Copies of this chain bind each other. A is one copy, B any other.
Amino acid sequence: MNIDFHIKPEIRILGIDDSALLNEKVMIVGAVFRGGDWIDGVLRSEITKDGLDATEVICNMIKKSKHYDQIRTVILDGITYGGFNVVDIQMLYRETGIPVIVVMRSYPDFEKIKSALKYFPDGEERWTIIKRAGKIERIPGEKSPIYIQRAGIGVETVKKIIRLTSIRSNIPEPLRVAHLIATGIILGESRGKA
């Protein structure tokens, strides 16, 4: 099911980021983009810090959006949101019918994640979801590589989408802008990625 498909320059892409962990509820922000070019809409929802509701909340946020019919790809910033709230990208793809790309700036430290999950009563379940996200692939970039996981989309199409949208930095615009909005709204002023 990881098919490659044709990419129009104005393909609608939803980038999702979370905000700082200030409270029990963590805001997530979605930025709907046309290609890497311009923002078409903003979505907002809430997940529980260290909870397990991220997959369902993101599914609902997408499915009730007026942009649902148009969105062709969802881009996530890693698969853990709001602490260790793990997104099941296979389920997100199955429930929404929209292919999912996970973007990471560095190869995840699985040993560290596994150690942290020991403190969760349902650590095993979270670890299963993490493994289900599939293999991690390295995508060479102009300055630095990025690492991806994917559901419902071929690696050649992922490369094209990343090339189309990473025009202002080495991360796709929908994610960069979702991050600016999430940090700006919660902290009063946006912060760049470390």
Contacts and interface: CB of A to CB of B under 8 A. Distances in A.
What interface size band does chain A fall in? 20 to 34
Contacts of A29: 184-185
Interface of A: 27, 29, 38-39, 41-45, 61, 64-66, 168, 173, 177, 180-181, 183-186, 188-190
B38 A190 contact: no
User: Which 7 A-B residue pairs are closest in the complex by CB-CB distance?
Assistant: A42-B184, A42-B190, A41-B190, A42-B180, A44-B185, A42-B181, A185-B185
A188 B43 contact: yes
A67 to B, nearest CB: 8
A43 B184 contact: yes
Given A39-B39, A44-B186, A45-B188, 15 more contacts: A29-B184, A39-B177, A41-B180, A41-B189, A42-B181, A42-B185, A42-B190, A43-B184, A43-B189, A44-B184, A44-B185, A44-B189, A61-B188, A181-B181, A185-B185
